[in-house]
Amino acid sequence: MHTGKMVFAQLMEWIHPEQFRRCVARYQGNFKVRHFTCWDQFLAMSFAQITYRESLADIEVCLRSHHDQLYHLGFRSSVAHSTLADANGSRDWRIYADLAQGLIARARRLYAHEPLGVELAQTVYALDSTTIDLCLNLFPWARFRSTKSAIKLHTLLDLRGPIPTMVAISDGKQADVRVLDELVPEPGAFYVMDRGYLDFERLYRFVLAAAFFVTRTKAGVKLNRLESRPVDRTTGVRSDHIVWLVHPKSVAHYPDRLRRVTYRNPEDGKVLIFLTNNFDLPAEIIAQLYKCRWQVELFFKWIKQNLRIKHFFGTSDNAVKTQVWIAICVYVLAAIVRKELRLELSLSQILQVLSVNPFEQVPLAELIAKTASQENLSDSRNQLMLWN
Protein backbone atom coordinates (compact mmCIF):
# COMPACT_ATOMS: atom_id res chain seq x y z
CA MET A 1 0.00 0.00 0.00
CA HIS A 2 1.27 3.51 -0.83
CA THR A 3 3.19 4.94 2.12
CA GLY A 4 1.78 8.43 1.53
CA LYS A 5 -1.80 7.43 2.32
CA MET A 6 -3.20 8.20 5.75
CA VAL A 7 -4.10 5.36 8.09
CA PHE A 8 -7.85 6.11 7.95
CA ALA A 9 -7.77 6.20 4.13
CA GLN A 10 -5.88 2.91 4.05
CA LEU A 11 -8.61 1.29 6.15
CA MET A 12 -11.38 2.62 3.91
CA GLU A 13 -9.59 1.31 0.81
CA TRP A 14 -10.64 -2.21 1.80
CA ILE A 15 -14.18 -1.27 0.71
CA HIS A 16 -14.47 -1.75 -3.04
CA PRO A 17 -15.86 1.45 -4.66
CA GLU A 18 -18.14 -0.51 -6.99
CA GLN A 19 -19.59 -2.46 -4.08
CA PHE A 20 -20.43 0.79 -2.29
CA ARG A 21 -21.79 2.41 -5.47
CA ARG A 22 -24.22 -0.46 -6.02
CA CYS A 23 -25.54 -0.20 -2.45
CA VAL A 24 -26.12 3.53 -2.92
CA ALA A 25 -27.73 3.14 -6.35
CA ARG A 26 -30.09 0.43 -5.07
CA TYR A 27 -31.78 2.95 -2.75
CA GLN A 28 -31.05 6.14 -4.76
CA GLY A 29 -28.98 7.49 -1.90
CA ASN A 30 -27.36 10.25 -4.00
CA PHE A 31 -30.54 11.30 -5.81
CA LYS A 32 -30.50 15.11 -6.17
CA VAL A 33 -27.43 15.31 -3.90
CA ARG A 34 -24.94 17.93 -5.10
CA HIS A 35 -22.63 17.98 -2.11
CA PHE A 36 -21.89 15.61 0.76
CA THR A 37 -22.59 12.27 -0.88
CA CYS A 38 -23.30 8.96 0.83
CA TRP A 39 -19.58 8.20 0.72
CA ASP A 40 -18.82 11.41 2.63
CA GLN A 41 -21.53 10.47 5.12
CA PHE A 42 -20.08 7.00 5.55
CA LEU A 43 -16.56 8.36 6.03
CA ALA A 44 -17.70 10.89 8.64
CA MET A 45 -19.68 8.30 10.62
CA SER A 46 -16.90 5.72 10.36
CA PHE A 47 -14.41 8.34 11.56
CA ALA A 48 -16.70 8.98 14.52
CA GLN A 49 -16.77 5.27 15.36
CA ILE A 50 -13.02 4.83 15.13
CA THR A 51 -12.04 8.00 17.01
CA TYR A 52 -14.86 7.87 19.62
CA ARG A 53 -16.54 11.20 18.79
CA GLU A 54 -19.24 12.33 21.20
CA SER A 55 -21.60 14.27 18.92
CA LEU A 56 -22.13 15.58 15.41
CA ALA A 57 -20.59 18.88 16.44
CA ASP A 58 -17.60 16.98 17.79
CA ILE A 59 -17.21 15.23 14.41
CA GLU A 60 -17.39 18.59 12.60
CA VAL A 61 -14.84 20.33 14.84
CA CYS A 62 -12.39 17.42 14.71
CA LEU A 63 -12.50 17.09 10.92
CA ARG A 64 -12.45 20.82 10.24
CA SER A 65 -9.33 21.14 12.38
CA HIS A 66 -7.71 19.00 9.66
CA HIS A 67 -9.50 20.65 6.73
CA ASP A 68 -6.36 20.62 4.60
CA GLN A 69 -6.14 16.83 4.96
CA LEU A 70 -9.77 15.88 4.34
CA TYR A 71 -9.24 15.30 0.62
CA HIS A 72 -6.52 12.78 1.42
CA LEU A 73 -8.90 11.01 3.83
CA GLY A 74 -11.36 10.54 0.95
CA PHE A 75 -13.79 13.41 1.60
CA ARG A 76 -14.98 15.42 -1.37
CA SER A 77 -17.07 17.88 0.64
CA SER A 78 -16.64 19.77 3.88
CA VAL A 79 -18.36 18.30 6.94
CA ALA A 80 -21.02 20.30 8.79
CA HIS A 81 -22.99 18.78 11.64
CA SER A 82 -26.30 20.03 10.21
CA THR A 83 -25.59 18.44 6.82
CA LEU A 84 -24.55 15.19 8.50
CA ALA A 85 -27.70 15.22 10.64
CA ASP A 86 -29.87 15.66 7.53
CA ALA A 87 -28.05 12.81 5.77
CA ASN A 88 -28.47 10.45 8.73
CA GLY A 89 -32.13 11.29 9.02
CA SER A 90 -33.09 11.05 5.35
CA ARG A 91 -30.77 8.65 3.49
CA ASP A 92 -31.97 5.07 3.59
CA TRP A 93 -30.25 3.07 6.33
CA ARG A 94 -30.47 -0.02 4.11
CA ILE A 95 -27.55 1.35 2.06
CA TYR A 96 -25.25 0.62 4.97
CA ALA A 97 -27.06 -2.56 5.94
CA ASP A 98 -26.37 -3.96 2.46
CA LEU A 99 -22.76 -2.79 2.62
CA ALA A 100 -22.37 -4.57 5.95
CA GLN A 101 -23.77 -7.77 4.48
CA GLY A 102 -21.21 -7.65 1.67
CA LEU A 103 -18.38 -7.15 4.16
CA ILE A 104 -19.77 -9.93 6.36
CA ALA A 105 -19.75 -12.37 3.44
CA ARG A 106 -16.11 -11.52 2.79
CA ALA A 107 -15.14 -11.83 6.45
CA ARG A 108 -16.84 -15.20 6.80
CA ARG A 109 -14.75 -16.61 3.98
CA LEU A 110 -11.60 -15.38 5.70
CA TYR A 111 -12.55 -16.88 9.06
CA ALA A 112 -14.14 -20.09 7.76
CA HIS A 113 -11.35 -22.27 9.14
CA GLU A 114 -11.01 -20.63 12.55
CA PRO A 115 -11.13 -23.06 15.51
CA LEU A 116 -14.55 -23.42 17.08
CA GLY A 117 -13.66 -24.95 20.43
CA VAL A 118 -15.79 -28.01 19.62
CA GLU A 119 -14.82 -30.85 17.30
CA LEU A 120 -17.46 -30.17 14.69
CA ALA A 121 -17.16 -29.55 10.96
CA GLN A 122 -20.56 -27.89 10.51
CA THR A 123 -21.24 -24.17 10.84
CA VAL A 124 -22.44 -23.13 14.29
CA TYR A 125 -24.47 -19.97 14.91
CA ALA A 126 -25.45 -18.33 18.18
CA LEU A 127 -28.64 -16.25 18.28
CA ASP A 128 -29.35 -13.66 20.96
CA SER A 129 -30.36 -10.04 21.50
CA THR A 130 -29.26 -7.10 23.60
CA THR A 131 -31.30 -4.09 24.70
CA ILE A 132 -29.97 -0.55 24.24
CA ASP A 133 -31.70 1.97 26.51
CA LEU A 134 -32.82 5.31 25.06
CA CYS A 135 -34.34 8.52 26.40
CA LEU A 136 -38.13 8.49 26.05
CA ASN A 137 -38.34 12.24 25.32
CA LEU A 138 -35.85 11.98 22.45
CA PHE A 139 -36.90 8.59 21.06
CA PRO A 140 -40.71 8.38 21.53
CA TRP A 141 -41.00 6.02 18.53
CA ALA A 142 -39.10 3.34 20.51
CA ARG A 143 -41.26 3.38 23.66
CA PHE A 144 -40.32 0.38 25.81
CA ARG A 145 -41.89 1.13 29.19
CA SER A 146 -43.88 4.06 30.59
CA THR A 147 -40.69 5.96 31.46
CA LYS A 148 -38.11 4.80 28.93
CA SER A 149 -37.44 3.87 25.33
CA ALA A 150 -35.19 1.14 23.99
CA ILE A 151 -34.20 -0.76 20.89
CA LYS A 152 -33.16 -4.37 20.58
CA LEU A 153 -30.21 -5.58 18.57
CA HIS A 154 -30.92 -9.16 17.42
CA THR A 155 -27.77 -10.86 16.19
CA LEU A 156 -26.98 -14.21 14.61
CA LEU A 157 -23.27 -14.81 15.18
CA ASP A 158 -21.12 -17.23 13.24
CA LEU A 159 -19.00 -18.67 16.05
CA ARG A 160 -16.02 -19.15 13.74
CA GLY A 161 -14.67 -15.64 13.98
CA PRO A 162 -16.98 -14.49 15.49
CA ILE A 163 -18.74 -12.63 12.67
CA PRO A 164 -22.36 -11.34 12.82
CA THR A 165 -24.21 -12.85 9.87
CA MET A 166 -27.64 -11.36 10.53
CA VAL A 167 -28.54 -8.25 12.48
CA ALA A 168 -32.08 -7.03 13.05
CA ILE A 169 -33.04 -3.86 14.91
CA SER A 170 -36.43 -3.66 16.60
CA ASP A 171 -38.12 -1.69 19.34
CA GLY A 172 -37.52 -2.91 22.87
CA LYS A 173 -40.98 -4.44 23.24
CA GLN A 174 -40.57 -7.01 20.47
CA ALA A 175 -40.26 -10.58 21.76
CA ASP A 176 -36.94 -12.21 20.91
CA VAL A 177 -38.62 -15.26 19.41
CA ARG A 178 -40.15 -13.20 16.58
CA VAL A 179 -36.74 -12.79 14.95
CA LEU A 180 -36.94 -16.49 14.01
CA ASP A 181 -39.50 -15.46 11.40
CA GLU A 182 -36.76 -13.52 9.58
CA LEU A 183 -34.24 -16.35 9.79
CA VAL A 184 -33.64 -18.65 6.82
CA PRO A 185 -32.16 -21.88 8.29
CA GLU A 186 -29.04 -23.18 6.58
CA PRO A 187 -29.18 -26.97 5.95
CA GLY A 188 -26.74 -28.85 8.15
CA ALA A 189 -25.90 -25.86 10.36
CA PHE A 190 -26.40 -25.67 14.14
CA TYR A 191 -28.29 -22.79 15.78
CA VAL A 192 -27.69 -22.31 19.50
CA MET A 193 -30.29 -20.25 21.38
CA ASP A 194 -31.45 -19.66 24.93
CA ARG A 195 -34.93 -20.60 26.12
CA GLY A 196 -36.36 -17.24 25.07
CA TYR A 197 -36.53 -18.72 21.57
CA LEU A 198 -38.44 -21.84 22.58
CA ASP A 199 -41.41 -21.83 20.21
CA PHE A 200 -42.16 -25.26 18.80
CA GLU A 201 -43.95 -24.02 15.70
CA ARG A 202 -40.98 -21.86 14.75
CA LEU A 203 -38.42 -24.50 15.75
CA TYR A 204 -40.06 -27.06 13.47
CA ARG A 205 -38.95 -24.92 10.53
CA PHE A 206 -35.39 -26.00 11.36
CA VAL A 207 -36.44 -29.64 11.02
CA LEU A 208 -38.06 -28.98 7.65
CA ALA A 209 -34.91 -27.17 6.48
CA ALA A 210 -32.60 -30.03 7.63
CA ALA A 211 -30.91 -27.66 10.12
CA PHE A 212 -30.28 -28.29 13.81
CA PHE A 213 -31.08 -26.27 16.91
CA VAL A 214 -29.85 -26.47 20.50
CA THR A 215 -31.83 -24.62 23.13
CA ARG A 216 -32.93 -24.92 26.74
CA THR A 217 -36.33 -26.07 27.84
CA LYS A 218 -38.70 -24.06 30.01
CA ALA A 219 -40.51 -25.01 33.19
CA GLY A 220 -43.93 -26.37 32.38
CA VAL A 221 -42.98 -28.01 29.07
CA LYS A 222 -44.32 -31.55 29.33
CA LEU A 223 -42.50 -34.34 27.52
CA ASN A 224 -43.01 -38.11 27.27
CA ARG A 225 -39.84 -40.18 27.40
CA LEU A 226 -39.60 -42.64 24.51
CA GLU A 227 -36.03 -43.87 24.93
CA SER A 228 -33.11 -43.56 27.35
CA ARG A 229 -29.55 -43.61 26.09
CA PRO A 230 -26.46 -44.56 28.09
CA VAL A 231 -24.34 -41.61 29.27
CA ASP A 232 -20.87 -41.04 30.67
CA ARG A 233 -21.49 -39.21 33.94
CA THR A 234 -17.85 -38.13 34.20
CA THR A 235 -18.54 -35.65 31.39
CA GLY A 236 -21.25 -33.91 33.41
CA VAL A 237 -24.10 -35.42 31.39
CA ARG A 238 -26.83 -36.80 33.66
CA SER A 239 -29.31 -38.13 31.11
CA ASP A 240 -29.93 -38.43 27.37
CA HIS A 241 -33.54 -39.08 26.37
CA ILE A 242 -35.58 -39.25 23.18
CA VAL A 243 -38.87 -37.51 23.98
CA TRP A 244 -42.20 -36.50 22.48
CA LEU A 245 -44.33 -33.49 23.31
CA VAL A 246 -47.44 -34.14 25.40
CA HIS A 247 -49.74 -31.19 24.82
CA PRO A 248 -51.88 -31.69 21.66
CA LYS A 249 -51.37 -28.09 20.52
CA SER A 250 -47.58 -28.45 20.85
CA VAL A 251 -47.69 -31.74 18.97
CA ALA A 252 -49.61 -30.06 16.16
CA HIS A 253 -46.85 -27.45 15.90
CA TYR A 254 -43.97 -29.91 16.28
CA PRO A 255 -45.05 -33.42 15.14
CA ASP A 256 -41.65 -35.07 15.60
CA ARG A 257 -39.29 -36.42 18.22
CA LEU A 258 -36.94 -34.32 20.32
CA ARG A 259 -33.79 -35.11 22.22
CA ARG A 260 -33.48 -33.99 25.85
CA VAL A 261 -30.01 -33.80 27.40
CA THR A 262 -29.57 -33.05 31.10
CA TYR A 263 -26.19 -31.64 32.07
CA ARG A 264 -24.72 -30.65 35.43
CA ASN A 265 -22.15 -27.88 35.26
CA PRO A 266 -19.15 -29.04 37.35
CA GLU A 267 -18.14 -25.44 38.07
CA ASP A 268 -21.26 -24.27 39.90
CA GLY A 269 -23.38 -27.42 40.12
CA LYS A 270 -26.18 -25.88 38.05
CA VAL A 271 -28.34 -28.37 36.15
CA LEU A 272 -29.21 -27.41 32.56
CA ILE A 273 -31.73 -29.22 30.35
CA PHE A 274 -31.24 -28.90 26.59
CA LEU A 275 -33.57 -29.69 23.71
CA THR A 276 -32.27 -30.43 20.23
CA ASN A 277 -33.35 -32.11 17.00
CA ASN A 278 -29.93 -33.68 16.49
CA PHE A 279 -29.80 -37.34 17.50
CA ASP A 280 -26.26 -38.20 16.37
CA LEU A 281 -23.81 -36.02 18.29
CA PRO A 282 -22.59 -37.21 21.70
CA ALA A 283 -24.53 -35.65 24.55
CA GLU A 284 -21.46 -33.87 25.91
CA ILE A 285 -20.98 -32.13 22.53
CA ILE A 286 -24.54 -30.80 22.76
CA ALA A 287 -23.65 -29.28 26.15
CA GLN A 288 -20.41 -27.85 24.76
CA LEU A 289 -22.26 -26.25 21.85
CA TYR A 290 -24.56 -24.43 24.25
CA LYS A 291 -21.56 -23.29 26.26
CA CYS A 292 -20.17 -21.67 23.08
CA ARG A 293 -23.22 -19.39 23.10
CA TRP A 294 -21.39 -17.08 25.52
CA GLN A 295 -19.51 -15.69 22.51
CA VAL A 296 -22.57 -13.77 21.33
CA GLU A 297 -22.90 -12.19 24.78
CA LEU A 298 -19.21 -11.27 24.66
CA PHE A 299 -19.79 -9.78 21.21
CA PHE A 300 -22.54 -7.50 22.57
CA LYS A 301 -20.35 -6.37 25.45
CA TRP A 302 -17.44 -5.79 23.09
CA ILE A 303 -19.28 -3.60 20.60
CA LYS A 304 -20.88 -1.57 23.40
CA GLN A 305 -17.44 -0.96 24.85
CA ASN A 306 -15.54 -0.30 21.61
CA LEU A 307 -18.11 1.26 19.25
CA ARG A 308 -20.60 4.11 19.43
CA ILE A 309 -23.94 2.33 19.72
CA LYS A 310 -25.02 3.36 23.25
CA HIS A 311 -25.00 7.08 22.48
CA PHE A 312 -26.69 8.16 19.25
CA PHE A 313 -26.03 11.23 17.09
CA GLY A 314 -29.62 11.40 15.78
CA THR A 315 -33.04 10.66 17.25
CA SER A 316 -35.00 9.34 14.26
CA ASP A 317 -35.46 5.66 13.50
CA ASN A 318 -33.43 6.04 10.30
CA ALA A 319 -30.55 7.85 12.04
CA VAL A 320 -30.30 5.21 14.76
CA LYS A 321 -30.26 2.32 12.27
CA THR A 322 -27.73 4.14 10.08
CA GLN A 323 -25.36 4.56 13.02
CA VAL A 324 -25.71 0.94 14.15
CA TRP A 325 -25.10 -0.46 10.66
CA ILE A 326 -22.06 1.76 10.07
CA ALA A 327 -20.71 0.61 13.43
CA ILE A 328 -21.09 -3.00 12.27
CA CYS A 329 -19.34 -2.10 9.00
CA VAL A 330 -16.38 -0.72 10.97
CA TYR A 331 -16.25 -3.83 13.17
CA VAL A 332 -16.27 -6.24 10.22
CA LEU A 333 -13.88 -4.07 8.21
CA ALA A 334 -11.35 -4.14 11.06
CA ALA A 335 -11.78 -7.92 11.25
CA ILE A 336 -11.09 -8.23 7.50
CA VAL A 337 -7.96 -6.08 7.71
CA ARG A 338 -6.73 -8.06 10.71
CA LYS A 339 -6.98 -11.29 8.74
CA GLU A 340 -5.78 -9.99 5.38
CA LEU A 341 -2.67 -8.34 6.85
CA ARG A 342 -2.08 -11.18 9.34
CA LEU A 343 -1.98 -8.75 12.24
CA GLU A 344 -1.08 -10.12 15.66
CA LEU A 345 -2.96 -7.62 17.83
CA SER A 346 -6.49 -8.24 19.06
CA LEU A 347 -9.36 -6.37 17.44
CA SER A 348 -9.62 -4.06 20.47
CA GLN A 349 -5.97 -3.15 20.19
CA ILE A 350 -6.21 -2.56 16.44
CA LEU A 351 -9.12 -0.15 16.90
CA GLN A 352 -7.23 1.67 19.65
CA VAL A 353 -4.21 2.10 17.38
CA LEU A 354 -6.49 3.40 14.60
CA SER A 355 -8.23 5.80 16.99
CA VAL A 356 -5.06 7.78 17.75
CA ASN A 357 -3.38 7.53 14.36
CA PRO A 358 -6.00 8.29 11.66
CA PHE A 359 -3.92 11.09 10.10
CA GLU A 360 -0.57 9.31 10.22
CA GLN A 361 1.05 8.57 6.83
CA VAL A 362 2.46 5.19 7.76
CA PRO A 363 1.59 1.83 6.15
CA LEU A 364 -1.10 0.26 8.30
CA ALA A 365 0.66 -3.09 8.64
CA GLU A 366 3.86 -1.35 9.69
CA LEU A 367 2.05 0.76 12.28
CA ILE A 368 0.32 -2.27 13.81
CA ALA A 369 3.53 -4.33 13.78
CA LYS A 370 5.41 -1.53 15.53
CA THR A 371 2.73 -1.41 18.22
CA ALA A 372 2.72 -5.19 18.63
CA SER A 373 6.47 -5.18 19.21
CA GLN A 374 6.17 -2.87 22.18
CA GLU A 375 5.89 -4.42 25.62
CA ASN A 376 3.29 -2.03 27.03
CA LEU A 377 0.28 -2.01 24.72
CA SER A 378 -2.29 0.71 25.05
CA ASP A 379 -5.00 -1.87 25.73
CA SER A 380 -6.17 -1.77 29.36
CA ARG A 381 -6.10 -5.00 31.28
CA ASN A 382 -9.83 -5.16 31.92
CA GLN A 383 -10.75 -4.54 28.27
CA LEU A 384 -12.96 -7.14 26.65
CA MET A 385 -10.96 -9.00 23.99
CA LEU A 386 -11.93 -10.80 20.81
CA TRP A 387 -9.43 -12.98 18.95
CA ASN A 388 -6.63 -12.86 21.55
Q: What is the pLDDT of residues 353-386, one digit of tens each?
A: 999 999 999 999 888 888 877 644 444 444 454 5
CA 164 distance to own-chain centroid: 4
Same domain, 85 and 14: yes
Same domain, 267 and 338: no
Residue 319 has pLDDT above 90, yes or no: yes
Answer yes or no: is 382 within a domain. Answer: no
Answer yes or no: is 132 within a domain. Answer: no
pLDDT at 386: 55
| Three-state secondary structure call for residue 7 | helix
Answer yes or no: is 138 within a domain. Answer: no
Q: Under a CB-based contact definition with an 8 Å cutoff, are residues 102 and 21 in contact?
A: no
Which residue type is seen at 329? C
Residue 3 has pLDDT above 60, yes or no: no
Answer yes or no: is 222 within a domain. Answer: yes
pLDDT at 158: 92
pLDDT at 119: 78
Q: Number of folded domains in the chain? A: 2
Answer yes or no: is 76 within a domain. Answer: yes
Q: What is the pLDDT of residues 64-119, one digit of tens each?
A: 999 889 999 999 999 999 999 999 999 999 999 999 999 999 999 999 888 887 87
Answer yes or no: is 201 within a domain. Answer: no
Q: Percent of the chain having pLDDT more than 70?
A: 95
Asked which of 277, 296, 325 is the last residue of a domain, the reply is 277
User: Could you give the CA distance from residue 204 to residue 274 in angstroms, rounded to a whole number?
Assistant: 16
Residue-range definition of the domain harbouring residue 252: 209-277
User: Could you give the CA distance from residue 250 to residue 229 in angstroms, rounded to a whole number?
Assistant: 24
Print burial letters for 255-292: b (CB count within 10 Å at least 16), e (below 16). eeebbbbbbbeeeeeeebbbbbbbeebbbbbbbbbbeb
Q: Within a 10 A sphere around the Cβ of 329, how many other Cβ atoms? A: 23
User: Could you give the CA distance from residue 180 to residue 9 in angstroms, rounded to a whole number?
Assistant: 38
Q: Under a CB-based contact definition with an 8 Å cutoff, are residues 127 and 184 in contact?
A: no
Same domain, 92 and 13: yes
Answer yes or no: is 104 within a domain. Answer: no
Answer yes or no: is 19 within a domain. Answer: yes
Same domain, 269 and 326: no
Global pTM exceeds 0.85: yes
Q: What is the pLDDT of residues 203-226, one digit of tens each?
A: 999 999 999 999 999 988 999 999
Q: What is the pLDDT of residues 148-205, one digit of tens each?
A: 899 999 999 999 888 899 899 998 889 999 999 999 999 999 999 999 999 999 999 9
Residue 388 has pLDDT above 60, yes or no: no
